[in-house]
Structure 1
Amino acid sequence: MNRNTLRILLLTVLCLFVQNETLNPAIADEQLLWVGGQTGEVHTYRIPLLTFTTQGSLLAFAEARKLSFKDKGAKFIALRRSTDRGVTWSPTSFIVDDGSLADGLTLGSVVVDEETGAVILIYALCFHRYHCKPSSTMMVQSLDDGFTWSAPRNLNPQLGLMSFAPGPGFGIQKRHPPAVGRLVVCGHGSITGDGVFCILSDDHGNTWRYGAELKSIPYNQRKNNLDFDPDECQPVELDDGSIVINVRNDKHYHCRCRMVARSLDGGESLPVEELVFDHTLEDSAVAAGALEKEGVLYFTNPASANSRVNLTLRWSLNLGKSWVKDTLKIWAGPSGYSCMTSLKGNETEDHKYIYVIFEKGQKDYFESISFVKVDLYSDQ
């Protein structure tokens, strides 16, 4: 039996198994990973990322903003690591320190190379170009399951001087044709020349180039409310090999909802003909989470058209064509950016759970960063 036939058979068995179960997501556990308020060298933790390594460890990242809650200013990249699927966590370590830059680092996307085991983290420096230039796209990587990290590498010699902010969220490695094995990281461009852009690597992160783009209108001009301004984004690969990118609609073009773009050629292009507006996913212009697991598409955001509150999990049984009416309210109060992950393993626990990290507060959404374990099939 060849590899493709085996994969199709396994997918068929899995789909039959899932159909015999009833999705009923519920929170199984929650922990605060970081709390702001000028503790030590950090004022505020923001922009959470979450991924599993090839060895099954959970890695949680965040911007550790040194002096204020604002996007500009000096920062660390904070990391906590769990080897027991989020039950216990290592103390916080700082894997990148941008010093005292007036316009410090901007997280960022994490992508795991399933072939080499490398964990690659891509971020920006001087993205807003506030008292500094040029903007730089930077990369660090770990080859030992997140224990140690390389020195930062500047990708500008490969990518040029365009201002590019990855994610925030995770990048993908293509599992299905076309371009199997390719690393794809998507984000948005400079403040004026904005839009969604993807960078691609076909050699395990050694070299990178620009691929797909979905440019803002008007391009290279300051934006007004209701302009077309695709922004922060999360790519997901589907089993047909297409890449669906859930996009922040920053200036509320057409709706206060999410944009969804789609690449059919491995991240080389984002045809405008494939762009849709998902009115079910109401949104106040914020980074959101998306995840595909066992034929189900999951989505998290503050489910409100006007403010960052009501962090909600939704799921779709037809890969985003429609969404199940039931939802899981993770946090009714102030909430912001979110990211999801799951472990592609053979254990029952790996099938049952997804993991969410998000910004959570009582008065302001950026007061803390919380980790939630979601039981997809509760009461079963």
Structure 2
Amino acid sequence: MAEREVRMFVFYLCFGFLTTISSSPILRSNVKPVSPVAVEEQLIWLSGGGEGEVDIYRTPLLTATPRGSLLALCGARKYSSGDAGPKFLAIRRSTDQGQTWSPTAFVTDDRSPDGFNPGSIFVDEITSTIFVLYVHCAHHYKCNVSTLFLINSTDDGLTWSHPRNISEQVGTMTFDPGPGYGVQKKLPPHQGRLIVCGHGDLILSGVFCLLSDDHGNSWRYGGTRMGIPYNQRKKAGDFDPDENQPLELPDGSILLNARNEYAYHCHCRVIMRSYDGAESFPLEHLYFDETLIEPRAMASQWYSNGVLFFSNPAHQTERVNLTLRWSYDNGTTWASSLLVWPGPSGYSAMTMLSQDSGHLYILYEKGAKSSIESLSLVKVALYGG
């Protein structure tokens, strides 16, 4: 990249940070302060437990359904803990606010040496359809073409459709959804739009978003923010936003929180904002949140009743200290935090039931010696125990 382009890139990053700080709303008087307390926790999956062919349960997905159930999903890795290799998509379901759970069911079986990545789960509230978008052959170890598949359920997660290949619409460029959840816009612009964001591969890296304006029937690419250097293998210090999570704020904008894969600028999260329904993520709305330190891992964010929540392993280099933070000004400042688990902890996913705005659910990777020992669900009372 030419020297002038590098200077302009840094200028826009700095300007975006200042713009975000100065334009963020102040705490509204009608926002009720939270005082989160972890009130319940239970083991959802235990790795190495000899359950069929499964060796490791990783990469949690969590959502609430239109009927008020909770769905927990993950990648059930058959033979090893590595990202590559065949997997099942495992699922459990709760109809009593997380008190009890159905036995594990395996929704998909990739039967492939390279395997799939679990991807993103999202709900179309208008049609009451639950979707999971996942990629097959994300790592190109033993296959050459990546394929995006979409499955859906219209009966509260009890049964699922056959996988539908949407690469016929968007191409076979490596796009790894999430992992986490996609969103449906509730506000203008593009009210009702489905948005699923993800990342590229080791070469063509960066953030990419897929958009659907017809309830998941057709898809196209929307906003992107490419890694630098473009189309080259990255190294330490390069700019490479990776695994990410979108959400919609009360002004209709999309807030995207991304993993900072090669620690450009800091060991912290990359924040982007879109005001056109994820059609674009301009540089003037991109900054680095140095409070949200990270060891390069999936993180989750959630918004409810004027409060933005964020969960990740809060450490610069190690996957430990699974922490919940909260903000009253859309992430400009962070009011406080709750240490959920001080030991080994990795990826996390959050959700909330529409009929219960007083509790937040976090499904996360947890262990005593390693973060991949189990997937555990913690129920957090937002206004005290």
Corresponding position of 1:66: 78
1:340 has 2:346 as partner:
no
Q: What is the letter of the counterpart of residue 376 of structure 1? A: L
Q: What is the letter of the counterpart of residue 269 of structure 2? A: R
* CA–CA distance in structure 2, aligned partners of residues 80 and 243 of structure 1: 29
The offset of 1:83, in angstroms, is: 0.3
The offset of 1:286, in angstroms, is: 0.6
Deviations for 1:121-160, whole angstroms, at most 9, x for unmatched residues? 0000001111112100111000111000000111111000
* CA–CA distance in structure 2, aligned partners of residues 111 and 186 of structure 1: 11
The offset of 1:343, in angstroms, is: 1.7
Corresponding position of 1:78: 90
The offset of 1:344, in angstroms, is: 2.3
1:368 has 2:374 as partner:
yes
1:353 has 2:363 as partner:
no
1:316 has 2:327 as partner:
yes
Deviations for 1:178-209, whole angstroms, at most 9, x for unmatched residues? 00000000000122101000000001001111
Pairs within 5 Å for 1:93-242 = 93-99=105-111, 101-242=112-253
SS of 2:301's partner is strand
SS of 1:228's partner is coil
* CA–CA distance in structure 2, aligned partners of residues 312 and 329 of structure 1: 5
* CA–CA distance in structure 1, aligned partners of residues 81 and 375 of structure 2: 13
The offset of 1:351, in angstroms, is: 2.1
Q: What is the letter of the counterpart of residue 126 of structure 1? A: C
Corresponding position of 1:55: 67
* CA–CA distance in structure 1, aligned partners of residues 144 and 113 of structure 2: 11
Corresponding position of 1:11: none
Q: Number of aligned pairs?
A: 357
Corresponding position of 2:341: 331
The offset of 1:16, in angstroms, is: 5.7
* CA–CA distance in structure 2, aligned partners of residues 18 and 279 of structure 1: 25
* CA–CA distance in structure 2, aligned partners of residues 116 and 359 of structure 1: 32
SS of 2:353's partner is coil
SS of 2:168's partner is helix
In structure 2, runs of 5+ residues without a counterpart are 1-27
Q: What is the letter of the counterpart of residue 163 of structure 1? A: T
Q: What is the letter of the counterpart of residue 338 of structure 1? A: S
* CA–CA distance in structure 2, aligned partners of residues 230 and 209 of structure 1: 20
SS of 2:161's partner is coil
* CA–CA distance in structure 1, aligned partners of residues 64 and 49 of structure 2: 29
Q: TM-score, normalised by structure 2?
A: 0.91
SS of 1:204's partner is coil
The offset of 1:18, in angstroms, is: 4.0
* CA–CA distance in structure 2, aligned partners of residues 37 and 301 of structure 1: 24
SS of 1:273's partner is helix
The offset of 1:70, in angstroms, is: 0.4
SS of 2:357's partner is helix
The offset of 1:242, in angstroms, is: 0.4
- % identity of equivalent residues: 54
Corresponding position of 1:291: 302
* CA–CA distance in structure 2, aligned partners of residues 376 and 104 of structure 1: 38
The offset of 1:44, in angstroms, is: 0.0
Deviations for 1:305-349, whole angstroms, at most 9, x for unmatched residues? 01000000000011111001x31111000000001001223xxxx
Q: What is the letter of the counterpart of residue 31 of structure 1? A: Q
Corresponding position of 2:25: none
* CA–CA distance in structure 1, aligned partners of residues 74 and 265 of structure 2: 32
The offset of 1:38, in angstroms, is: 5.1
Corresponding position of 1:43: 55
SS of 1:370's partner is strand
Match of 2:44 among 28, 33, 55: 33
In structure 1, runs of 5+ residues without a counterpart are 1-14
* CA–CA distance in structure 2, aligned partners of residues 38 and 149 of structure 1: 26
Match of 1:266 among 266, 277, 284: 277
Deviations for 1:198-231, whole angstroms, at most 9, x for unmatched residues? 0000010011110000000011111000000000
SS of 2:316's partner is coil
The offset of 1:17, in angstroms, is: 5.7
Q: TM-score, normalised by structure 1?
A: 0.93
The offset of 1:90, in angstroms, is: 0.2
Q: What is the letter of the counterpart of residue 74 of structure 1? A: P
* CA–CA distance in structure 2, aligned partners of residues 49 and 148 of structure 1: 17
Bigger relative contact order, structure 1 or 2, given CA contacts below 8 A and separation 6+? 2
* CA–CA distance in structure 2, aligned partners of residues 152 and 138 of structure 1: 6
